[in-house]
Structure 1
Amino acid sequence: MNAVTSIHPGEHLRLPARHGVAIRLSKGQTLKVVNTHGKQVVDTWAFNPDDLTESMSMEHSRPFWLKLNPCKGDGLLTNQRRIILTLIEDTSPGVHDSLVAACDPTRYVQLGVVGHHASCNENLFLALQTLGLTAPDTPSPLNLFMNVPVHRDGRIEFAAPVSEPGHYVCLQAAMDAVVVLSACPQDITAVNGMQPQDIHYCVI
């Protein structure tokens, strides 16, 4: 069940596998996202709480970085080209993804799933609902810890994460923000090592 949780600064909270959570951050606060078991992808969104049409945008961030993935010190831009989060710490090998859209029901149908399958797209909207918010659409997320190699011939592939248990990233709010995390439910491809798992997070 996606739910909003009362957060005490520094307290590590568990986000169950396949679920999402929405977190309010004030400017200057830091969100620590811990890959507890090492192989879990975390789809990550950020919104301007006063105007949800302004959201973190990978399309706008990549030209700002001039690369495919953010590194320590890089700002994450909104679709209005304002920095909403800054990656201030990363103990993982730094392999994340800014190319792939969030999984959704149609994606699982394409992969041969019959019946309902949890998805990051669904988690986004359910998590925002706990704060009484509704996003106008689904922005492309920053897929923390996701390993999508880009080959010389332009092909991409879905590979298992290279992060290890306990690796974490810290994202500092450059403005007031609502951040949504989804412990990706993907268990058809190698994205989560075929086995979605819990993660932990805390606000500092």
Structure 2
Amino acid sequence: MSQPLTIPARRGKAHRVAKGETVRVINTHGEQVIDTWAFNAEDLTEFMSMEHSRAHMLKIIPVVGDILRTNRRRPILTLVEDTSGGIHDTIIAACDRHRYAFLGVEGHHDNCEDNLHAAMREIGLEAPETPSPLNLFMNIPVHPDRSVSFEAPVSTPGSFVRLKAEMDLVIAFSACPQDILPINGVGHLPTEAHFVVEP
């Protein structure tokens, strides 16, 4: 069995994954949101797209068996197992420096956009843009009046999702550094998480 790799708290991590391999993303301490991206390893301009995936899934939260698609509508990842309670988000953009300025932060604040690009550079690649991520474990309920809100995750320590690669790809994660809204749990600071690439 492969050794777990760490997604450091408030930071990102990227890794190459071969077609047919699975990636188990572990919410080590529970309630940590993990922004997740996937890029075609042969052409980084093709990447997992939430807009295109929703059009094929006909839902806003993927469930086991659902296929996530690229901006060219090709399968890139399939959700094959989920022990986390099944609450994830495909609507909200990755946090960035502009978001934290809007929330009143002066100066630098760690953010998922920067984490994506730093993680890709760490393995010698350059992400061509910041696609809208699959926000694993993030709880953004849609209310009867069609409004949304930012709520604490329902995931528990050690719960996980397993994603199967449908092409050779590069997967990238950010342990979301949001510490102003309760995205990572009420009163919780961002924590590290882990992932395992398995045959």
Amino acid at match of 1:197: T
Per the normalisation by structure 2, the TM-score is 0.96
* Cα distance, 1:92 vs structure 2: 1.1
Opposite residue 192 of structure 1, the aligned amino acid is: N
Give distance in 2, aligned partners of 1:80 and 1:165.
Answer: 35
Match of 2:94 among 97, 102, 109: 102
How many residues are treated as equivalent by the alignment? 196
2:191 aligned residue: 197
Give the alignment's TM-score, normalised by structure 1.
0.94
Q: Report the Cα distance in structure 2 between the residues aligned to 1:126 and 1:199, rounded to whole angstroms.
A: 17
Matches within 5 A, 1:1-204: 10-193=2-185, 194-204=188-198
Structure 2 distance, partners of 1:131, 1:195, is 27
CA distance in 2, matches of 1:113, 1:155: 25
Kindly provide the amino acid, as one letter, of the partner of residue 190 in structure 2. Answer: P
Deviations 1:119-150 (A, max 9, x none): 00000000111122112211000000000010
The whole-number CA distance in structure 1 between the counterparts of 2:16 and 2:7 is 15
RMSD: 0.8
Gaps of 5+ in 1: 1-8
Q: Give 3-state SS (helix, strand or coil) of 2:73's partner.
A: coil
* Partners of 2:156 and 2:189 in 1: CA distance: 15
Secondary structure at 1:123 match in 2 = helix
Looking at structure 2, the residues matched to 178 and 16 of structure 1 have their Cα atoms a distance apart, in angstroms, of 18
Where in structure 2 are there 5+ consecutive unaligned residues?
Answer: none
TM-aligned CA deviation for residue 114 of structure 1? 1.0
2-structure distance, mates of 1:92, 1:154: 25
